[in-house]
Amino acid sequence: MIRSSSRQGRGTAIFGNDAWAEDAPGLKTLDDALNLREKILTAFERAELAMGADPEIAKRLHAFVVIGAGPTGVETAGAIAELAQSMARDLRNIRAEDTKVLLLEGGPRVLQSFKDKLSCRAEADLQALGVEVRTNTMVTDIKYGRLQTSTGEVLAKTVVWAAGVQASPAARWLGLEAGRSGHVFVDTTLRAEGFENVYVIGDTADRMEGDGPVPGIAPVAKQMGVYVGKRIAAEVRGAAFDKPFRYSDAGALATIVRNKALADIFGLRVTGFIGWILWGAAHVYFLIGIKNRLFVTL
């Protein structure tokens, strides 16, 4: 059984608080990125105009909040801080130090999938850029221009939600009970529980290994796809295929800003410019075609 949806396959999980989506959009698609870029640039322009007439409004306009300190949240916060420095050179009334970029994380540290040392380095790099990092902070309410959190109220006109991934509605299609963020529980062969001929992979699958679920990242989805392809090919040939799925973790990569990134690959842990080079090389490697790789590298 094959069923897919390019628009529904992956979205932003706001954990039951759908009313927040309008004021705290996610960052999952190209359209999301373009809309966010326009929103940020417009906020700076409006803050520039408001600075003389109403400094308090201007302060809220160039305050930015990113919720969730995973790779997406860390990169977004770093990019906004870097953009603020660039915008300050083009605007008369706005200084880079006047811009507030706040990164909120419900857990004890940023980039929790990384080792402690790399996580601490990422937080230090963010703070050096002017990003304020608040860990152990839960968001309890979001209204336009105002957030309520477990550590106090935050006033900001631009909020980005980077705290979760919403699975496709496959559980509903199959009449199954959904797991975390709509995920489908699968067995060791990646089949939906109770089905012999339905495989679920990628962000839609909830597969537990070790102490928790396998991460919702591209290498997992690719390995799942290869595994299921082999199983289906074996079934077509009438051959046995009893090997369970096991995720082979080669490491993790995250970028903060240009020339600053983290890499943990096969036990090799590097940061800064070298980490950024490895991060870029890995992403270029997985592009399709020599022409695309050369173009992106240049």
- Residues carrying an active site annotation: 75
Q: What length is written for the chain? A: 298
Buried b (16+ CB within 10 A) or exposed e, 143-165: eebebebeeeebebbbbbbbbbb
Residue with tokens 């990164």: 103
How far lies 97's CA from each of 67, 90, 132, 205, in Å? 21, 14, 12, 43
| Tokens representing residue 172 in the block | 């509903």
CA distance 41 to 26: 17
Question: What is the pairing mode between strands 131-134 and 100-104?
Answer: parallel
Region of 54 please: left (phi>0), alpha (psi -120 to 50) or beta.
Answer: beta
275's CB contacts (< 8 A; 6+ apart) are 253, 260, 261, 262, 263
Amino acid identity for residue 88 in this structure: A
